[in-house]
Structure 1
C-alpha cells in the first residue's frame, strides 16, 4: 500500500510582495529617521494608525454586491448582530488620517499637523518595481485653509530631500493648482463631462507627447510610437487653444508664469482664484529663500485631479539613471500631494480643509542608491568573537558584553566551533569588520588576537605584499586593551569610508 506523500508548502514570496533583509531594513530606518527629524522640526506630530480600516471609512473602494472593490485587500467580518462589516488593509495613509481627525477632532488641536510612516497595501497587478506592499511617508495639515499651509508643505518637501542626501540641483518641487485647470476648462466652454475627462487625460500626457502631441490628441488624434492610431477628443483648434496656453505657460520666473496663467484662464473666476493662490505660494516661498532652483510653478503637474481641490505639488528627481533597456532616463517623481478639502467632510458633513504630501519610500531609497548615498559601506556587520574552546563560552560572552557595553555591535560565534575556517567564513558573510581570537595559549598570557578583516581584504586584493609588511591585519594585544583597540579599528574605518 502506497504511503501518502507529504505535501509541503512552497517556500516562495506571494506574488507582488518581497522580503527585506538586514542592510535594506537598516537603510530604510536611517532614511525615515532623517525624514522624521525634518517633519518634527516643522512642528508635525507623529501618528500611527491601524493597518486595517473599514471599507466604508476608506471610501475610495466601496463594496459591490458580494465583496469590495478589487483595489484593496478586504474581507468580511463575522456578523456580530448588527451586520457584518467589510474591512480592508489601508491603501494609503491619508484616508486613515481623515477618519482619525473626524473621530478625535474634539481632542485634537486645530490645525492638526501630523506625520505618519508605514506600509500600505494595494490589490493591484504587480509589475517591475511595482509591489502590492510598499512604504509611504506622509505629512499633512488638517483644519487650515491658508495657502501658507500649502507653501509650507512645499518647503518641507525640499528640505526633506536635501536632508536624506539629494543635493540641490538634483531635484525640483513643482507646484500647480486644480482651480487653474478648472478655469481652463471653463474658458474652453466644455460642459460635457466625458469631454472634460478626456481633456484631463490628454493633459496628463503632455510630458510624454509634448505640445504637438497634445494638439493632435485634443483634435482628431495621432499615431503613437507603435503605429497604432489614438482617437482624439474632437475639439476644434480654437477650443483647444486654452489648454495649450495653460500647458506652455511656464516661464523663466514665477511672476511671468503667473501672468501667462492669467491669460490662459480668461474670465473664469475659479481660474483667477487658483492663479491668485499660486502667486501667494510663490511669494511665501520666495520670502523663505526657496528659489526656482528648488521650487517652481509648473502647470504641467497633474496629480489625481479628481481628488485634489486646490494646489498640487510633485517632487521630481532630475538626474539621469540607466533603465532596464540600458537607456539614460530621468529618475522622475518620488513624492506628491496637494490640497484635499473634501475628505474629512465624508465623516462630518462639514468641509474641513487639509493639505499634505506623501513620499514614496522605496522610490526615494532607489534614488539614493543610484546616487551612491546608501549601500556603500563595506563592513556593516558585528565584531565576531570566535570560539576556540567550547568549554570557555562564558569567557567569550564576557568579551562580547564588554564590547556591547561600549556601544560596539558584537556577537559570539554560535555554530559548531570545531572548524575554525568555517568561523572565518561566517565572519566574512556577516561583513564583520573584526574577528577576535583567544585560544588557551592567549588566555594563559592574558592576550587576544585581533584580526582586522577590513585591512585583510585590502591586503588580499593588493598586487604587492611589501607595502603591508609594517601594517599586519592580525596582531596580539593585551586582553585589557580589547575594547579600545577594536574601537580604534572601527573609527579608522569610518574615517576612510
Structure 2
C-alpha cells in the first residue's frame, strides 16, 4: 500500500485582501506620520481601539444598510456574544466615549490610524481590509468645530506634499438635502437613504445614472438591480438641480441653494451652518480654492447628521500609455451627533475627518510625491570573504551609526550574485573589502546608480564615462566619508 500523500495547502491570498510591499508600506507610514503631526500640532490626542467590537456596538450604520449583517466580519465568542471586526474608527470611538464619558475632557479630540475591514464584494482597487486615519472632535456642537475639521483636512493635504491648487475640500450639509426632500414630500427614512446613496454616486454614474436611482431603479453592468427612491419626475428634477448648484465661491453656492429648500427649517439650519463654516474658513485663511461648497457631496454612511465633506485630489498623473489617472476622493468626514447617544441616550455632538491611507499613498506615489524613508539610499556591504562576516556586519553597523541605511550581505553566493542582489534592491553603493583591499588597507566602492547610467550610455558617451568612474578605491580611514560623497552626488 502506498504512503498517504501529504496535504499541501495552496499558497493563495483570500479574495479581496492584498499583500503590501516595502515601498508601499513606507509610503503609507510616511503619510500617517505627516497627518499625525498635524493632528498633534492642533491639540488632538492619539487613541488606539481594538480591532474587534461587540457587534451590537457597531450598530446598523454600515455603507450598505440593506445588508447590515453582511457588511462586517463577525464571529461568536466563547461566551456566546458576537464580535465584529471594526469597519471604521468612528463607531469604536463612539463606544469609547460612552464608556469613559465622565472621565473625558470635553470636547474630546482624538486621532487614530489602523486597519478596518468591510465584508463587501471586492473589485478593482476595492479591498476588504485597508488602513484609515481619523481625527474627531466629540462634544462640540457649533459649526465652527466642523470648519476646523475642514481646515484640518486641508492642512493634511499640504503636509502630504500637495500644492494648494492640487486638491480641494468639497463641503455640504446633509440637512439642506433633507430640506429639499421635505419640500417635495419625500423625507421618510427609507426614501431619504436611497436619495443619499444615489447622490453619492454622481461622480461615478453621472446625472443619467443618478436619475434612474432617484426613480424606479437601475440595473448595473453585471445585471444586478438596485431599487430606486421612486421620486416622481418633478422631484427628480428638483434633486438634480440641487446637485447641480455648485461652482463659484462659497457665498454663490449658498445663494443658489436658498430657493430650493423653501420654508424647510431643516434646510435653513443647514444653510446657516454653511454660512458659519464660510466665515470661520475665511477668517483663518482657507479660501474658496481650498474648500468649496458642493451640494453633490452627501457621503455614503448613514450616521452623518449635518456638514459633510470630501478631500479630492485635483493633481493629475498619467499611465504608461499617456492616459490621465483620475484619483477623485481620498478622504472625507462630517458631523455625526447620534452615535454616542445610542449608548447613553444623551445627545453628544461630534464631527470628524478620515482618509484612506492606502488609496491616498498610492495616489501620492503615482504623482511622485511619496518621499521620506523609501527614498533613503541603501548601501550594501558585500561579503567578499566567507570567513569575515563579522567584519562586514560591523561595517554596516558603522554606516547606520552615522545615519545611512545599510546592510551586510548574509545570503552567501559569489560576488556576481551579491552584486545582482544589490542591483535588484536598488542599492546606491556597494562596499567591497576582499583580501587585496584588506592587505592594502583600502576599501573599494561601486557607485551602482552611476554604473547603471553608464551602462545605458555605453555606446555614445565614452568620454563622459571615463570622466565619471563608477568604481573607486579609497583608504580605509575615509571610506564612510567617500560613501557620503557618492550619495550626495546623486542627491544633488
TM superposition score normalised by structure 2: 0.90
Matched with 1:65 is none
* Counterpart for residue 394 of structure 1: 390
Aligned pair 1:261/2:257, yes or no?
Answer: yes
Equivalent residue for 2:476, pick from 475, 479, 484: 479
CA drift of 1:369 comes to 2.1
Identify the residue that residue 4 of structure 1 maps to in structure 2.
4
**Range 4-13 or range 215-224, more displaced:** 215-224
Q: How far has the Cα of 1:371 moved from its partner? A: 1.3
Shift of 1:447: 0.9
* Whole-angstrom CA distance in 2 between matches of 1:47 and 1:425: 44
CA distance in 1, matches of 2:479, 2:130: 43
Q: 1:358 to 1:248 in 2, by over 3 A?
A: same
2:297 partner SS:
coil
Paired position in structure 1 for 2:49: 49
- Conservation of the 8 A alpha-carbon contact between 1:379 and 1:454: no
Q: Which residue of 2 aligns with 1:453?
A: 448
Tell me, yes or no, if the aligned pair for 1:174 and 1:314 is still in contact at 8 Å.
Answer: yes
> What secondary structure sits across from 2:172 in the alignment?
strand
Report if the CA contact (8 A) 1:111-1:142 is conserved. Answer: yes
The farther-off stretch of 315-324 and 448-457 is 315-324
User: What is the alpha-carbon root mean square deviation over aligned residues?
Assistant: 3.0
1:99 aligns with 2:95: yes
Instruction: Give the structure 2 partner of residue 345 of structure 1.
Output: 341
Q: CA deviation at 1:57?
A: 1.5
- Displacement of 1:207 in angstroms is 3.9
Q: Which residue of 1 aligns with 2:150?
A: 154
- The answer to whether the Cα contact below 8 Å between 2:171 and 2:295 also exists between their aligned partners in 1 is yes
Higher relative contact order (CA 8 A, sep 6+): 2
CA distance in 1, matches of 2:412, 2:370: 34
1:428 paired to 2:423:
yes
**Contact 1:378-1:431 within 8 A present in 2 as well:** no
1:21 aligns with 2:21: yes
Distance 1:212 1:128 in 2: 23
Helix, strand or coil: the match of 1:13? coil
Residues 23 and 232 (structure 1 numbering): CA distance in 2 closer, same or farther, change over 3 Å?
A: closer
Q: Equivalents in 1 of 2:406, 2:140: separation in Å?
A: 50
Unaligned runs of at least 5 residues, structure 1? 63-67
1:57-114 per-position Cα deviation (integer Å, ceiling 9, x unaligned): 222379xxxxx922222111113xxxx2111211111111111111222222100111
Correspondence list, 1:297-446, <5 A: 297-304=293-300, 306-320=302-316, 328=324, 330-374=326-370, 380=376, 382-417=378-413, 419-446=414-441
- Structure 1 match to 2:32: 32
Q: 8 Å contact 2:26–2:374 — kept in the other structure? A: no
| Secondary structure in 2 matching 1:475 | strand
Shift of the alpha carbon at 1:428? Answer: 1.3
- Over 3 Å counting, the alpha-carbon distance change for 1:73 and 1:226 in structure 2 is closer
Using the size of structure 1 for normalisation, the TM-score is: 0.89
Where do 1:272-311 residues align within 5 Å? 272-304=268-300, 306-311=302-307
Alignment of 1:169 onto 2:156: no
Long gaps (5+) in structure 2:
63-67
Q: Which moved more, 1:448-457 or 1:203-212?
A: 203-212
CA–CA separation in structure 2 for the residues paired with 1:75 and 1:305: 23
- How many residues of Structure 1 are paired with residues of Structure 2 in the alignment? 485
Name the CA shift for 1:391/1:198 in 2 (closer, same or farther; >3 Å): closer
* 1:109 maps to 2:105: yes
Q: For 2:223 and 2:8, how far apart are their aligned partners in 1?
A: 49
